[in-house]
Amino acid sequence: MNARLKNALWLALAISRATVWIVGALLIGALVFVPFTTAGAQLGLRIASAVTNDMVVAEGVDGTLWGPLKLQHLEVHLASIDIAIDDAELDADFTQLLRRRLDVAALHATRVQLALRPGAPQQTPASGEGAIARLPLAIAVHDASIGELVIVPAGSEPITIHDAALAASWVGDRVVVERLEATTPWVGHARLDGIATLRPDAIELHPLHTQGFAVASIDGVFGYDTPSDLHLEWQKIAWPPDAANAAATALDSGGGEAHWRGLLDDYRFDLHGAVTLPQLAVSLQARGTGSLSAVHLAQLDARGLDGELHARADVSWNDGVRIDGAGQFSNLHPQKLSSELPGVLNGSFDANTTIADGQPNVRFTAQLHDSTLRGYPLSLNTRGQYRGDRLSFETLELQSGQAVIKARGQVLPTLDAQADVDAPRLADAWPELLGSLHGQIGARGPLRAPHATARLRVDGLSYHGMKLQHAQLNADVDPKGQLDLDLDLHDADVGVAIPKATLAIHGPAGDHDIRLDVSSAQGDVALTAHGALDIERPSWRGELRSGQLTPASLAAWTLKQPTAIVFDAGTLSFDPMCWTAADANACLGLKNESGKQRADFALSDFALTYLQPLLPGGARADVVLQASGHAEFGPNGMEDLRADLATGDGHWQVGGLPPIALKPAKLSIDDNGADGTRIELNLPLASGVISADATLAAGAAFMERHLGGTLKLDLPDLAWLHLLTPEVSSAKGHASGQLQLGGTLASPQFEGRVELADGELALVTPGITLGAIGLRVDTDAAGDLKLDGEASSDKGSVHLSGTVSPRADPLKLDLRLRGDNFQAMNTNEAKVWVSPDLHVALADRRLAVDGSVAVPKAGITPKSLGDGSVSASSDEVMVGDDPGAQPKRNVLINADVTLKLGDDVHFEGFGLKSRLSGSVQAIEQPGVATRARGEINLVDGHYKAYGQDLTIETGKLIFSGGPVTEPALEVRATRKPTEEVTVGLYVRGTLRKPDFQLFSTPPMPQQQQLAWLVLGRPLADTASADDKSAVGNAATSLGLAGGEWLAQQLGSKIGIDEITVGAKPGESNEQAMFTVGKYLSPKLFISYGIGLFQQGYTFRMQYDLGHGFKARTETGVESGGDLLYTVERK
């Protein structure tokens, strides 16, 4: 080989070696550049995109393939799915690939969208075919999360899953899920953890645990071609999963288990557990079998409402879906759901369903039998069909007691149904609902606006205090055609008595007339309108053509002119509607502006004399009011108000008292720019003024705006107070105060002091003059009032202190009243001084009064017994309801007050003159008559009767803890007409049933005791008529007071229906008789009477003719006959 060839070979070899080193260096550089640099990662992903023909497209690449790698956006396009990933981050240890392991430390993405592409369905492999039991390498994912996973099925709505997270590993045939959780649209937030072993023919679960809407575990084997045996046990299942609280949960299970075993085409299952529905706890048991084409529910048993349900069902889907089911229930108690539904339900049901082309066809029947509701038999029979979207009832008959509803027809998707209602006792259908309802109703057309017909009659309706004696409704209303409706109401009471009301609507929907007439205890209303109904919007447009409003006892307001009215999309608007009464005009308009409603109002020349019939005591306000303004309403209610109210000169007068001059007054609520709203009040009085200057801060809700400002009171002379009531003859003093305003209009706060000083009032009825009157009222931001006041009368005084909380609901107060020798009465019949020490507290509608009232001095000299009225006897019974009966108290009273009589308390009147002493403790408790303990004693008493003076040796009124109206008596009064004779009267018993006894020394007959007591000497046979009359009067008085009661008691013992002692109304005591009577039959009564002080007898016979009429005849001293008619008060 020559040298030149050798050199050439050497050069070629050197070049080859250099080329290999260069290529190797380039390959090594590429291997370092691509995975370990950001530019290499970007280049690698661009190459991948080019090689795959844009199957992989990446944007915003940062980091390295070695990790961590960040991608702003990544798209992967496959044959059946498009994957888009936003803001992804991957951190994995790829060196573990050398050990056949992929270890992912972190994998995060803000959003992942999986869009499935439409395509031909793939053939499903046979069970177990292609099942993956292990991967060629181990995978461990320590922290993976997706903020939002959106799955977009082809042709369907997207499915969004939030906050998906995964921590898991798959090593060999073992899969360990430490955490798999997400928030799905189906079950809310759920979490799964557990271990599974993958076999070629099955999956073993060891077990899996779930949390979220279901707290459960599942373990066992799921076989592809081999038998399965799975066991599910749950501790809790709640549905819906996103219920905010327990009350919103529709289904709640506190525990249960299920067992599923067998092949996919031949399996058995059973289940038992507890389920709680709203107000209903149910225990369930079920068992059945199934295959890939059918499920047979052989038994479903449920227990709840103290009863049970048994059902069965078969479901198949080989040739379309078919479901056949039936069941029966027994002994169900609906009062477990509502206390207003006591009863027992027994019945059965069945349904047969086929589904073809996605349309269901269900034929069903249901029955109730041997059932009761609220004590009445209850039955139901119905048969119907649901086909496609059409639900109809061939028959539906529901009966509760005597109330029956029979219905038939279609109810979905449109109406074409009729019903007959026959309920002679509505209480059979609903508790506390009294009355009767009869008639027919029908409806056809769309659910939103059907053509409805009704012929209904209601009688004697009563429910929760509301009453309606009679109502008649005749209606044939087609919202797109003719409207004909007549409603008549008679004798209704809805808090206001309405003797009669009528509503009539007639004419086409687009051109009809409306008339409303109401006659009530509060006044009468007569309105006519004309308009058009557009049911599609819906809206009503028309005008109020005439109107008259006549408040009770006041003049009528008449509509001045027709007014346009629009009701559209749930909002009402109308042009200014003006009403007139005498010289007054009142206008109100309502319009919509930018989603808000504005009401403009005006009142002109309104004389307050219009209200005189409503003012008490004949008061009269002779002044004219002018007012105008507007109010705006939005989502927060009233959002703004502007108003100006003003009165001119006038006067106020009560009865025949001199008038009080009234000066012009003004109230202004006006815009105050950025500061909000300004409120100014100027109310001059006869002497002085009440004024306010306040600001409402800007805000949305008018009543909730912050309030600030000052309220001032300046009344330098209160002499005009005597012009307000005839009970005050003169007045003096002055009042002043200043309150700082805070809070809101809805809940205002007042802080400051109001003070009355140097006050004096001369009171007419008690005849006293209150002097040195002072009262200080301090209020704080919480609204509590602190009171401190005093007054004097004669030489005594009283002092009042305590707190009142008027903003508390209910009202609260705590007051103390103390006094010393305060003259409370100074009249011709009574002069009384008191020293009170009382504590009064009110809280939670409970009023507590305790303390004492001492009467150190009193002079009581009554001249008459009041108005001459007589209290009811103990055996009197009122027939029927008393319309004047007082309503039940809504404040419970507890009182413990002691009355203490001093040493200078005297009584002189009706022949009695005595000093009174003692004390009585009065006790009152809710639901119990007022009770009393103590004694009132007569000291040094004398009684003058029948022209003679009696000395009261003992006089006691004894209260022993019983009713205060039933004290015991012990009175011993004597007279000593001569040195040798002492006669007296001893009274014991109670005020209602006193027992009179005469006594004397020496002993003598009762007639002579009366003579000595009344005449001061014995009664001789030759006594004058006047003497006999005096003794007779005394005997009759004693007989009427005690003897007649004794006689009646004696009569009941011996079978006599009536025994009386005394004279008839209009007769003198000399005509007093002793009378006995007996009912010979329920309608025939006879009586015989004999005179006590005059000779003669009376025989009377009375017969009840019925219907309130009685015939009576009388013979004896006088003879005659009467026809009597008696009316019982209702």
The gap from C-alpha 498 to its chain's centroid, in whole angstroms, comes to 25
- Does the bond joining 479 to the residue before it have cis omega, within 30 degrees of 0? no
Kindly report the backbone phi and psi dihedral angles of residue 1115, in degrees, each rounded to the nearest multiple of 5, phi listed first.
Answer: -130, 155
- pLDDT over threshold 70, residue 1056: no
Encode burial over 229-255: b for 16+ CB neighbours within 10 A, e otherwise. Answer: bbebebeebbbebebeeeeebeebbee
Confidence at residue 569, expressed as pLDDT on a 0 to 100 scale: 76
Q: Rounded to whole angstroms, how far apart are CA atoms 677 and 632? A: 13
Do 426 and 435 form a contact (C-beta atoms < 8 A)?
yes
pLDDT tens-digit series, residues 258-308: 999 999 889 999 999 888 877 778 899 999 999 988 999 999 999 988 999
C-alpha 1130/C-alpha 1126 separation (Å) is 13
Sorting pLDDT into bands at 50, 70 and 90, what band is 872?
very low
CA neighbours within 13 Å on the CB side: how many for 434?
10
Mean local confidence (pLDDT), 323-339: 90
Between strands 280-290 and 294-304, the pairing is antiparallel
Per-residue pLDDT at 630 exceeds 70: yes
What gap in Å lies between CA 16 and CA 179, rounded to an integer?
57
Helix 1006-1014 with 1025-1038: angle, nearest 10 deg: 110
Instruction: Report yes or no on 273 lying in a domain.
Output: no
Mode of pairing for the β-strands spanning 390-400 and 1073-1079:
unpaired
Cis preceding linkage at 806, omega within 30: no
Q: What are phi and psi of 7, to 5 degrees?
A: -65, -40
* Under 8 Å between Cβ of 638 and 645: no
Q: Given this model, what pLDDT does residue 738 score?
A: 94
633 vs 46, more confident: 633
* Helix, strand or coil, per DSSP, at residue 176: strand
Higher confidence at residue 250 or residue 592? 592
Q: Are 1102 and 1121 in contact (CB under 8 A)?
A: no
| Token couple for 259 | 């067992």
Question: Does a cis peptide bond (omega within 30 degrees of 0) precede residue 538?
Answer: yes
- Of the listed ranges 201-210, 606-615, 701-710, 869-878, the least confidently predicted one is 869-878
| The pLDDT value given to residue 888 | 42
Task: Locate 535 and state its tokens.
Answer: 């049911």
Q: Say which range, 147-151, 163-167, 1065-1069, has the weakest mean pLDDT.
A: 1065-1069
CA distance 599 to 629: 9
Given its phi and psi angles, is residue 570 left (phi above 0), alpha (psi -120 to 50 degrees) or beta?
left
| pLDDT band at 845; cut points 50, 70, 90 | confident
Residue 397 lies in a domain: no
State residue 172 phi and psi, 5-degree precision. 65, -130
1010-1031 in b/e form (b: 16+ CB < 10 A) is bbbbbbbeebeeebeeebbebb
Sheet harboring 1109-1116: ordered strands across?
1058-1062, 1073-1079, 1084-1091, 1097-1106, 1109-1116, 1120-1125
The long-range contacts involving 216-220, CB below 8 angstroms and separated by at least 24 positions, are none
How many angstroms separate the Cα of 399 from the Cα of each of 84, 367, 369?
63, 12, 11
The pTM of the full predicted model, rounded to 2 decimals, is 0.63
By residue count, the chain amounts to 1130
Residue that wins the pLDDT comparison between 278 and 614:
614
Judge whether 367 lies within some domain. no
pLDDT of residue 100: 76
| Reported confidence tier of residue 1020, pLDDT bands at 50, 70, 90 | low
**What is the dihedral angle through the alpha carbons of 975, 977, 983, 984, rounded to the nearest 10 degrees?**
-20
The answer as to whether 1104 is a domain residue is yes
Angle between helices 3-36 and 38-51 (to 10 degrees): 100
Beta bridge partners of 919: 900, 935
Q: What stretches of 78-227 adopt beta strand conformation (E)?
A: 81-93, 101-116, 138-152, 159-171, 174-184, 188-198, 202-211, 214-223
The tokens 């305790």 sit on which residue?
Answer: 850
Domain count, the chain: 1
Predicted confidence at residue 41, as pLDDT, reads 61
Report yes or no on 771 lying in a domain.
Answer: no
What are the percentages of helix, strand and coil residues in the chain, rounded to 5?
10, 65, 25
pLDDT tens column, 203-224 = 898 889 999 888 999 999 988 8
Q: Is 245 helix (H, G, I), strand (E, B) or coil?
A: coil
By the 10 Å C-beta count (0-12 exposed, 13-18 middle, 19+ buried), 705 is classed as buried
Pick from 249-253, 406-410, 612-616, 911-915: least confident: 249-253
Amino acid at the residue 296:
H
Lowest mean pLDDT among 332-346, 846-860, 870-884: 870-884
Domain range enclosing 1093: 1069-1125
Evaluate whether 247 touches 235 at the Cβ level (below 8 Å): no
Confidence of residue 589 (pLDDT cuts 50, 70, 90): very high
Measured in degrees and rounded to the nearest 5, phi and psi for residue 1022 equal -95, 15
pLDDT in tens, 459-513: 999 988 899 999 999 999 999 999 999 999 999 998 889 999 999 999 999 999 9
* The residue to which tokens 């959003």 are assigned: 111
Percent of the chain residues past pLDDT 90, beyond the cut: 39
Least confident span in 665-669, 754-758, 1086-1090: 1086-1090
Phi and psi angles of residue 651, each rounded to the nearest 5 degrees, phi first:
-150, 160
Q: Phi, psi (5° rounding) for residue 967?
A: -75, 160
Domain-located, residue 1109 = yes
